[in-house]
Chains A and B, each alone.
Chain A
Amino acid sequence: METHLATVHPIDECAITCLAETYLDTGQSHRALECFTTLIDYGTPNPWHYNRRATAHSDLLEFDKAAMDMSHAIALDTDNATYYWLRGGYRLSHEVRAHGRITEDSKPDIISRILHDYKQSLQCDPTRSAAWVNLLEINVILRQWDNAIGHFGACRSYMSRPAFQVIRGFLGCLALALAGDDILPDDSQYLDDTSIVVSPDIYRFGEIEVLLNDLSMEGYDPPRLARAMEVRDRFLEHFDETPNNEY
Chain B
Amino acid sequence: MTSTNDHLWLGIDLGTCNSSAAIKRHTGVETIRCNDTVIPLEPFLDNAEGHKNFPSFILFNDDGHIDAIGMAGKEQAHVTPDRVVWGIKRLLGKTFTDLKESGELDRFPFRIRPNRKNGQCLIAVADQRYTPETLCAVVFRKIKTDAEKQTGTSLNSVIVSVPAYFDPLRVSPIVEAARDAGFVHVKTIPEPVAAALAYDIEITKRPRKVLVFDLGAGTLDVTTGFLYRDPSEENEYRFQVVKNTGDTRLGGMDMDDRLVRLIIEKCMLGELSKAGETEVRRHAELAKIRLSSNDTCKLRFSLQGCDHHCTISRAELETALKGGTGDKDLLEAARRQVMAAINEADWRPQDVERLILIGGPTRLPCIRDVLDIVFHANPGVIKQIESFYAGDEQVDRMDAVATGAALSIDRRVDDNVPAGYGFEDLELSNDAMLHQPCVLVPRDSGYPYRSQHHTISWTNGSGLFEFKILQQVPQSEVEQFGYEYKFVGIQKFAVKNPNFCMVAIQMGYNANKELETTFTNILSGESVTYQGVIQSASIGMHYPLTVKRPPDFSRKSLQRVPPGEETLNEFVQWARVTAGYIQRKTDNHPLPNMSIAQMLDELGQLLKNGDAQTRFEGVFTQLHSLVWNANSTGILSQDTYNELSNHLTSFEGQLFKVEDANN
From B306-314, B337-345, B494-502, B540-548, give the one contacting chain A.
B540-548
Q: Does A13 make an interface contact (CB < 8 A)?
A: yes
Q: Does B114 make an interface contact (CB < 8 A)?
A: yes
Do A123 and B117 touch (CB < 8 A)?
no
Known: A79-B546, A189-B642. A123 touches B541 (CB 8 A): yes
Do B116 and A127 touch (CB < 8 A)?
no
Q: Does B383 make an interface contact (CB < 8 A)?
A: no
Residue of A nearest to B544 (CB): A79
Do A153 and B555 touch (CB < 8 A)?
no
Do B650 and A126 touch (CB < 8 A)?
no
Q: Does A157 make an interface contact (CB < 8 A)?
A: yes
Pick the contact of A48 from B551, B639, B646 — CB < 8 Å?
B551
A167-212 interface with B by 8 A CB criterion:
172, 176, 181, 184, 186-187, 189-190, 193, 195-196
Pick the contact of A151 from B119, B120, B555 — CB < 8 Å?
B119
- CA separation between A86 and B100, bound complex, in Å? 27
A16-61 interface with B by 8 A CB criterion:
17-18, 21-22, 46-48
Q: Does B605 make an interface contact (CB < 8 A)?
A: no
Q: Does B199 make an interface contact (CB < 8 A)?
A: no
**C-beta contact mask, B534-568 vs A, less than 8 Å → 1, else 0?**
10110111101111101111010000000000000
Do B646 and A150 touch (CB < 8 A)?
no
- CA separation between A165 and B645, bound complex, in Å? 12
What are the residues of chain A within 8 A of B547 when measuring CB–CB? Answer: 77, 79-81, 124
Distance to closest chain B CB from A37 (angstroms): 16
- CA separation between A81 and B537, bound complex, in Å? 17
Known: A126-B541, A127-B466, A189-B639. A156 touches B117 (CB 8 A): yes
Pick the contact of B649 from A48, A127, A162 — CB < 8 Å?
A162
Residue of A nearest to B435 (CB): A79
- CA separation between A157 and B536, bound complex, in Å? 8
Distance to closest chain B CB from A182 (angstroms): 9
Residue of A nearest to B487 (CB): A126
What are the residues of chain B within 8 A of A14 when measuring CB–CB? Answer: 551-553
Do B545 and A176 touch (CB < 8 A)?
no
Do A147 and B97 touch (CB < 8 A)?
yes
Q: Does B583 make an interface contact (CB < 8 A)?
A: no
- CA separation between A162 and B648, bound complex, in Å? 11
Q: Does B468 make an interface contact (CB < 8 A)?
A: yes
Pick the contact of A122 from B117, B539, B545, B552 — CB < 8 Å?
B539
Pick the contact of A186 from B117, B466, B490 — CB < 8 Å?
B117
Distance to closest chain A CB from B303 (angstroms): 37
Distance to closest chain B CB from A70 (angstroms): 15
Do A153 and B551 touch (CB < 8 A)?
no
Do A123 and B540 touch (CB < 8 A)?
yes
Do A46 and B551 touch (CB < 8 A)?
yes
Distance to closest chain B CB from A219 (angstroms): 25
Do B114 and A21 touch (CB < 8 A)?
no
What are the residues of chain A within 8 A of B95 when measuring CB–CB? Answer: 150, 154
What are the residues of chain A within 8 A of B114 when measuring CB–CB? Answer: 146-147, 149-150, 152-153
Pick the contact of B551 from A13, A122, A151 — CB < 8 Å?
A13
Distance to closest chain B CB from A240 (angstroms): 14
Q: Does A161 make an interface contact (CB < 8 A)?
A: yes
**C-beta contact mask, A109-149 vs B, less than 8 Å → 1, else 0?**
00000000001001110110000000000000000001101
What are the residues of chain B within 8 A of A5 when measuring CB–CB? Answer: none
Do B100 and A196 touch (CB < 8 A)?
no
What are the residues of chain A within 8 A of B35 when measuring CB–CB? Answer: none
**C-beta contact mask, B109-138 vs A, less than 8 Å → 1, else 0?**
000011111111000000000000000000
Pick the contact of A47 from B466, B489, B548, B650 — CB < 8 Å?
B548
Q: Does B9 make an interface contact (CB < 8 A)?
A: no
Do A150 and B100 touch (CB < 8 A)?
yes
Q: Which label, helix, strand, loop or mixed, suits the secondary structure of the B interface?
A: mixed
- CA separation between A48 and B119, bound complex, in Å? 35
Q: Does B96 make an interface contact (CB < 8 A)?
A: yes
Do A79 and B536 touch (CB < 8 A)?
no
Known: A79-B547, A162-B646, A193-B646. A153 touches B117 (CB 8 A): yes
Do A124 and B545 touch (CB < 8 A)?
yes
What are the residues of chain A within 8 A of B119 when measuring CB–CB? Answer: 150-156
Residue of A nearest to B536 (CB): A154
Chain B CB count within 10 A is highest, among A21, A127, A165, A184, for A127
What are the residues of chain B within 8 A of A220 when measuring CB–CB? Answer: none
- CA separation between A153 and B131, bound complex, in Å? 14
Residue of A nearest to B542 (CB): A123
What are the residues of chain A within 8 A of B490 when measuring CB–CB? Answer: 127, 157-158
Chain B CB count within 10 A is highest, among A17, A147, A154, A172, for A154
What are the residues of chain B within 8 A of A79 when measuring CB–CB? Answer: 435, 542, 544-547
- CA separation between A146 and B546, bound complex, in Å? 35
What are the residues of chain A within 8 A of B551 when measuring CB–CB? Answer: 13-14, 17, 46, 48
Do B487 and A153 touch (CB < 8 A)?
no
- CA separation between A18 and B642, bound complex, in Å? 39
Do A152 and B537 touch (CB < 8 A)?
no
- CA separation between A17 and B114, bound complex, in Å? 47
Known: A48-B548, A79-B546. A146 touches B113 (CB 8 A): yes
Do B118 and A153 touch (CB < 8 A)?
yes
What are the residues of chain B within 8 A of A155 when measuring CB–CB? Answer: 119, 536-537
Do A195 and B489 touch (CB < 8 A)?
no
What are the residues of chain B within 8 A of A146 when measuring CB–CB? Answer: 96, 100, 113-114
Do B537 and A154 touch (CB < 8 A)?
yes
What are the residues of chain A within 8 A of B117 when measuring CB–CB? Answer: 153, 156, 186
- CA separation between A47 and B548, bound complex, in Å? 8
Distance to closest chain A CB from B432 (angstroms): 9
- CA separation between A21 and B554, bound complex, in Å? 10
- CA separation between A153 and B119, bound complex, in Å? 4
Do A151 and B553 touch (CB < 8 A)?
no
**C-beta contact mask, B59-101 vs A, less than 8 Å → 1, else 0?**
0000000000000000000000000000000000001110010
- CA separation between A193 and B541, bound complex, in Å? 35
- CA separation between A22 and B553, bound complex, in Å? 10
- CA separation between A187 and B117, bound complex, in Å? 8
Given A79-B545, A162-B650, output 17 extra A-B contacts at Cβ < 8 Å.
A21-B553, A46-B548, A48-B550, A119-B539, A123-B483, A123-B541, A146-B113, A146-B114, A149-B96, A149-B114, A151-B97, A154-B97, A154-B119, A155-B536, A158-B537, A172-B116, A176-B116
Residues of B within 8 A of A (CB): 95-97, 100, 113-120, 435, 466, 468, 483, 487, 489-490, 534, 536-537, 539-542, 544-548, 550-553, 555, 639, 642, 646, 649-650
7 smallest beta-carbon distances between A and B, as pairs: A154-B119, A150-B114, A153-B119, A150-B96, A79-B545, A126-B487, A149-B114
Query: What are 28 residue pairs bridging A and B, where the CB atoms are less than 8 Å apart in the complex?
Result: A13-B551, A14-B551, A14-B553, A17-B551, A22-B555, A46-B548, A77-B546, A77-B548, A79-B435, A80-B547, A124-B541, A146-B96, A146-B113, A146-B114, A147-B97, A149-B114, A150-B96, A150-B97, A150-B100, A151-B97, A151-B119, A157-B490, A157-B534, A162-B650, A165-B642, A187-B116, A189-B639, A193-B646
Residues of A within 8 A of B (CB): 13-14, 17-18, 21-22, 46-48, 77, 79-81, 119, 122-124, 126-127, 146-147, 149-158, 161-162, 165, 172, 176, 181, 184, 186-187, 189-190, 193, 195-196
